[in-house]
Structures are given as structure tokens and as C-alpha cells.
Amino acid sequence: MNNNYSIDIKYTNSGVVLKNAANFSLSDTLDCGQAFRWYEKEGKWYGVAHGKRLCLFNEGSDVVIEGASKEDFDAVWREYFDLDRDYGAVIEAVKADKRLNKICALTGGIRLLRQDPWEALCSFIISQNNNIPRIKGIVERLCQTFGEDLGDGAYSFPSAERIATLTVEDLAPLRAGFRAKYILDAAKKVADGSVPIYDLHKMDAESAATCLMTISGVGPKVAACALLFGCGHIECFPVDVWIKRAMEVMFSDGLPSYALPYAGIVQQYIFHYARLTGLDADKMGDI
């Protein structure tokens, strides 16, 4: 991270404004498959994170975080949107590779969301062998059924302690299928402290992944997602079907060594590029 980097923040009566928000595309960041509680309506993005409702929109080159107080922004949203990381410097560090240069030109507006670690773990357990619309539906039913009512139709993500008191039968309305038993096992292990989900950011990624994989149904991909999106381990590189194919097509020799410290960010760029192009040779051109 560039220690000289800073964002231009303006606090107003109506919220917080990020002036000339470079490398921050709301649509790419909030709809790229890293989080499942955001939706767009009439040019504004609505969601719930860390037990708080939020609305964001673009005003020219600015990003407006509507209704956010200075206290909430400093305590929650600054870290959630990873606003102290210089993504321009990350792109500069990896674009010597002509493939990554082209990918970043199309997808470099993605920022990694620093989600609640338990929510990230549970969401990516739900994501297994699933598609994004269905994942969003299961997550939303989980929140509506067991979360706290935040008003205006919004609900918090239920805690591990709350879910740990339930049974597979209790989770039947979620229509989560085989994933229900994995959700329960994860909740129980987080609730009893055998998986210290809120301390995994202090561990090295390999040890943290090993800890997560003591949960039934959590393999390397889900563990890497939980660590990348919930615990700040940006060196993690989750591999799903899209990424496996994208790597075979574009990076059969692996990522260049200078991209490895930012592997998780680069993974999101590659993943979104693969979704946008379908890895179709005509759409990808010379890469």
C-alpha cells in the first residue's frame, strides 16, 4: 500500500462524499460475486453490512454514501470499502503483464469488500454449487427469518450464536438443501470458539484455512473466500470453475510473481473479466 495515498472525503449533512473516486465502480464492486446483499434500483445501490443499511450512488465522478454519519463512515464504511488501499498502485504493480494490463483496464474499478468474517464464511458455504441469484435468495431468506429487523424491509445477518441454536428442520424455509447442515456446523464451531473467526486475520493464511476446513463442507475454495472477503487476507486466491478455466486459458504459467502479494484482488479482476467475456476468444481479442 502507498503510504502517501489518501482519499478525498467530504462530510455533508446528507452523507459522505468520496470526491473523484478513482478505481471504485459501484456496479463492478457490488455485483461481482463477492457479496450477496446488494441490489441496484434506479441508479442507486442498496444493501446491508455490519448490521447497518446503506445507499450509495454516483454523482459524476464522486461516490455518495447517502445518510452515512462521520462516525459510521470512520468506524465501518471506510474499512468495508477498503478505502485506504491505493488500487491505482496495485494496478500499476501488476500491469507489466500485458494480460493483466488488459484485464485491469476493463475491471479495475473493483474494490475488495471487507465483510463481517462470519457473514463471509456463511455466504460462501451457501455459494457452493450454486448461482448468484439463488445464493442471494437463500441469504436474504436467512436474514429475514433469523436476523434483526432494521426497518424498511432490511434485516441484519444473523449471528453464529443465533444460528447455532437451530436445527436442520428450522433452516428448511431457506431452501438451502445440503448446505443447511454445513451452515449449522459452521455456526456451532464459531459460536463455541473452536473456529475463532474474528481472530483469523491475525493468523497466516495457511493456518487460518486449515482451521476453517475443520468445518463440515468447507474446502479450500470456501476457506479462501472467507479469508479473502472477510479476514483481509488479500494473498488468498479462491479457485472456482470460472477461475480454473480462466487460468487455463490466460495464465497457464500462473500469475507473475509480482502479482502474488495482491493475488486476491487480481483474482477478482480475472473472475469479473471471465464473466464479462465468457472467455470467448472474439471478445477477449489478443490476450
Q: What is the pTM of this model?
A: 0.94
- Are 201 and 149 in the same domain? yes
| CATH assignment at residue 58 | 3.30.310.260
Residue 38's nearest CA partner among 159, 175, 143 is 143
Could you tell me what percent of the chain has a pLDDT over 90?
91
Contact 176, 125 (CB under 8 A): no
Contact 109, 23 (CB under 8 A): yes
- 50: region left, alpha or beta (phi > 0 left; psi from -120 to 50 alpha): left
- Does the residue 271 lie in any domain? no
Contact 141, 131 (CB under 8 A): no
Per the structure, the complete domain to which residue 135 belongs is given by 117-230
Grid cell locating 16: 459522505
Contact 213, 220 (CB under 8 A): yes
Contact 7, 111 (CB under 8 A): no
**Total number of domains in the chain:** 2
| CATH assignment at residue 221 | 1.10.340.30
CA 16 to chain centre: 22
What is the per-residue pLDDT for 1? 46
Distances (CA, A) of 110 to 79, 88, 120: 15, 11, 17
Report, as residue numbers or ranges, the catalytic residues: 221
Show Cβ contacts of residue 241 under 8 Å, excluding neighbours closer than 6 positions.
Answer: none
- Does the residue 105 lie in any domain? no
- Does the residue 277 lie in any domain? no
pLDDT in tens, 40-86: 999 999 999 999 999 999 999 999 999 999 999 999 999 999 999 99
Is pLDDT at 272 greater than 60 in this prediction? yes
- Are 148 and 216 in the same domain? yes
Residue 62's beta-bridge partner residues?
59
What is the per-residue pLDDT for 226? 98
- pLDDT, average across residues 182-208: 98
CB atoms within 10 A of CB 32: 22
Query: How many residues are recorded in the chain?
Result: 287
- Are 21 and 80 in the same domain? yes
Distances (CA, A) of 220 to 3, 18, 145, 175, 217: 32, 36, 29, 24, 10
Residue 15's beta-bridge partner residues?
12, 66
pLDDT in tens, 11-42: 999 899 999 998 999 999 999 999 999 999 99
